[in-house]
Structure 1
Amino acid sequence: MAPSPRAAACHNGLPFDRFLAELKQQAIAAGVSQRALSEAAPYLVYDQSIVNRDRGQRVFGQVFTEFARRRASDGAAQQSQARIRMYAAAFNRAEKEYGVPPAVIAAFWGLESSFGAELGNLHTLPSLVSLAYDCRRSEMFQNETIAALKIIDRGDLTASEMIGSWAGELGQTQFLPTHYFNYAVDYDGDGHRNLLRSAPDVIGSTANYIANGLKWRRGEPWLQEVRAPQNLASSFPWDQADLTIKLPRSKWAQFGVTYADGKPLPNDDMPASLLLPMGRTGPAFLAYANFAAYTEWNNSLIYSTTAGYLATRIAGAAPMRQPSAPVVQLPFNEIKELQQLLVRAGFNVGKVDGVLGQQSRIAVKTMQAKYGLPADSWPTAELLARMRSAPR
């Protein structure tokens, strides 16, 4: 499929074949062999449909409780526990070597591919070179293409075996090729790092990436469900509920935060953030330093919170408390209208798409504080009404 004319705009007008020739030279300079390039050659072709998917990809739009109900259910936790028992030796070895608990590894494994059942069905190399030629993330995908060629060179996978998602992720925990090349380990001893077919390799490699790529802190928690004092809603410092704000657990205890079962928090200095994915009337969590690994893995707050919560369930935590009343969510059109009003007020909310992303949450929190509303970053009908009536 021929590239669109604008695809070459960031490459000084180079047609795709000239761009590809230059990319191959970069690969050779990075140590890729001619053998690997020859093997990959039939797959180094442009596919406009991949670029179209990248430009039109849907934003993560579900609310936390909806996504968690589907992906972090009792059944999901039990399936993960069964995998941990099935591959106990690999999980135990990974925890000993990398300090990452089996529950954390298994949660990502289940969420990313249903333990290898959903790997994607597209050849990886056409996706990578097409996205490398496109201007949106060209440098990133040039590096990913070279990493994929290095994986072939190393003998982990052949070019024809490289099949995954449309955006180039590979394996049962959906690694980008740079992560695959840098963090994949041979845990089954066959001389190859095969994250498509070898469960031990998947377990060890995922642990290595979490520990050394995402800087996991051995022996420390990642997420714990808590209860915020609803009876003090007017005086509780909701504006402190922010992943960028870390306070000692003793301070959260002073504010009236307890564990979900009502037991007191430890009176210690361990720093944590109060995470309210659906505002002050929804679920509440303490997010610790290790939670940064989740937001680095996937910057969607809904995904990262669900992955962290699922890991706690696998590790034995009780199911999430149900709110005393359903959390009211603004309809899609009203969130979009609120975003438009926030833009008019001078905020950068990113794309006005009816989805509550991080930039929108920051803007909502600022306006809630301005109007004297609980600044919990969750958009409400009251905030929308205030902004509708604000002078233009």
Structure 2
Amino acid sequence: MRIKPCASRSCALTLAAFPGMIGSLLRARNFGELLHMLRPLLAAVVVCLTGGSAQAARCGGDFDSFVASMAQEAQAAGVSAGVTNAALGGVTQDAAVLAFDRRQRYTFKKSFEQYVSTRVGPGRINGGRAMLQRHAALLSRIEQQFGVPRHILVAIWGLESDFGKGDTGKLPVVRTLATLAHDCRRTDLFQGELLAALKIVQRGDLPLRDLIGAYAGEIGQTQFLPSSYIKYGVDFDGDGHVDLRHSVPDVLASTANLLHTNGFKMGQPYGEGTPNFEAMREWNRAVVYRKTIGYFADRLAGQ
């Protein structure tokens, strides 16, 4: 029998997680616990083999019908009915999000000189140096574990949220992502992000009321998209939750984990054309932005 390709992101995301589930499955204490752990995977397999009802939701058209399809897909991916009902019940489109999305693509049309002059000034450099001192012990632990220099991490932190003091977004992430997913321009991207956002709530990392972010669904002090939150998030303060909104240890360690996982190497140059510069592409594809990270890091290091 020829297995059909997965027809939805929920199926693909669940099956992709299978290798990481093996260790947990081996630790199951009894058959009932094993069956409970396997249930989300088995649901996705059924969807793959049968082309069942949890198909990828179609963009455009009636918004409520689209949201209902996304709820079905989320449940096939292992998100509980309680979470999907609470998150998606009564959700409406946000016209301001669509308007912003159509404007923001021009952000990086500026030259490096124009862009860096608006983002890295004496005040922000001094603020970054203060953060380096305040969190010196934490940053040493992160450097040792992930091999990413503190100046790069603090530069990103400063650019994304002014070290957690700036605007990290005030919009309900689920509403934002449902709006963008329904828009047909990048529906696959944002349907995947919406599923990941629901999984953040399902895991218990953030309660739904605290799942607040920016105009593309970015969350927290270094503005992680939900898929990156799930993939790279680290509970570095040991409280059992990955909290990228309030926990500085989690924020900085997760940022380091993203860069480390994508090949960033301690002690190597990070200017344009280097492997480290390419590793930062997972953070932001814009060359101007990555050059600004490097410039800011150099200023923090006193270069």
Q: Which of 96, 100, 120 does residue 144 from structure 2 map onto?
A: 96
1:108 aligns with 2:156: yes
1:80 correspondence with 2:128: yes
Instruction: Extract unaligned runs of 5+ from structure 1.
Output: 1-9, 224-274, 276-286, 318-392
Deviation of residue 67 (structure 1)? 2.5
Partner residue of 1:309 out of 280, 291, 295: 295
Which of 112, 121, 143 is the matching residue for 2:170?
121
Q: Which residue of 1 aligns with 2:274?
A: 288
Distance in 2 between the 1:209 and 1:25 partners?
A: 30
Counterparts of residues 222-233 of structure 1 (less than 5 Å):
222-223=270-271
- Alpha-carbon deviations, 1:118-177, whole Å to 9, x = none? 211111111100111110100111110010000001111111111111111000000000
Q: Is the 1:129–1:145 contact (alpha carbons within 8 Å) kept by the matching residues of 2?
A: yes
CA change 1:163–1:28 in 2 (3 A) is: same
Kindly indicate whether the alpha-carbon contact (under 8 Å) linking 2:59 and 2:187 is maintained by their aligned counterparts in 1: no
Letter in 2 for 1:216: F
Q: 1:104 to 1:216 in 2, by over 3 A?
A: same
2:182 to 133, 148, 168: 133
Residues 57-107 of structure 1: CA distance to partner in whole angstroms, max 9, x if unpaired? 350243322322332234322321211221122211111111000001100
CA distance 1:82–1:139, shift in 2 (3 Å) = same
Larger Rg: 1
- Give the match for residue 175 of structure 1: 224
What does residue 25 of structure 1 align with?
A: 72
The residue number in structure 2 matching 1:157 is 206
How many positions carry a matched residue from both structures? 245
Q: Following the alignment from structure 1 to structure 2, what is the Cα–Cα distance between the partners of residues 135 and 156?
A: 30
Q: Is 2:259–2:280's contact at 8 Å kept on the other side of the alignment?
A: no
Aligned residue type for 1:297: W
8 Å contact kept, 2:270–2:294: yes
1:12 is displaced (CA, Å) by 7.5
Native 8 Å contact 1:95 1:102 kept in 2: yes
Ranked by relative contact order (alpha carbons within 8 Å, sequence separation 6 or more), the top structure is: 2
Report deviation, 1:13: 6.2
The residue matched to 1:97 in structure 2 has which SS?
Answer: helix
For 2:104, the aligned partner's letter is: Q
Q: State the alpha-carbon separation in 2 of the partners of residues 293 and 14 from structure 1.
A: 39
Q: Which residue of 2 aligns with 1:207?
A: 256
Q: Please give the alpha-carbon distance, in whole angstroms, between the structure 2 residues aligned to 1:105 and 1:297.
A: 11
**Correspondence for 2:111:** 63
Q: Does 1:192 align with 2:241?
A: yes
Distance 1:58 1:288, change over 3 A: closer
- Deviation track 1:172-231 (CA, whole Å, cap 9, x = no partner) reads 00000000111111111222111111111111111111111x3212331212xxxxxxxx
What are the Cα deviations for residues 14-52 of structure 1, in whole angstroms up to 9, with x where unaligned?
411111111111111111112211331357322233222
SS at the partner of 1:21?
helix
TM-score, reference length from structure 2? 0.76
- Deviates most, 105-114 or 28-37: 28-37
Higher helix share: 2
Q: Distance in 2 between matches of 1:71 and 1:20?
A: 38
2: distance between equivalents of 1:306 and 1:13?
37
Give structure 2 stretches of 5+ with no counterpart: 1-56
Is the counterpart of residue 54 in structure 1 residue 63 in structure 2?
Answer: no
CA separation in 2, counterparts of 1:135 and 1:183? 27
Give the CA RMSD over aligned residues.
1.9
The structure with the greater share of residues assigned to strand is 1
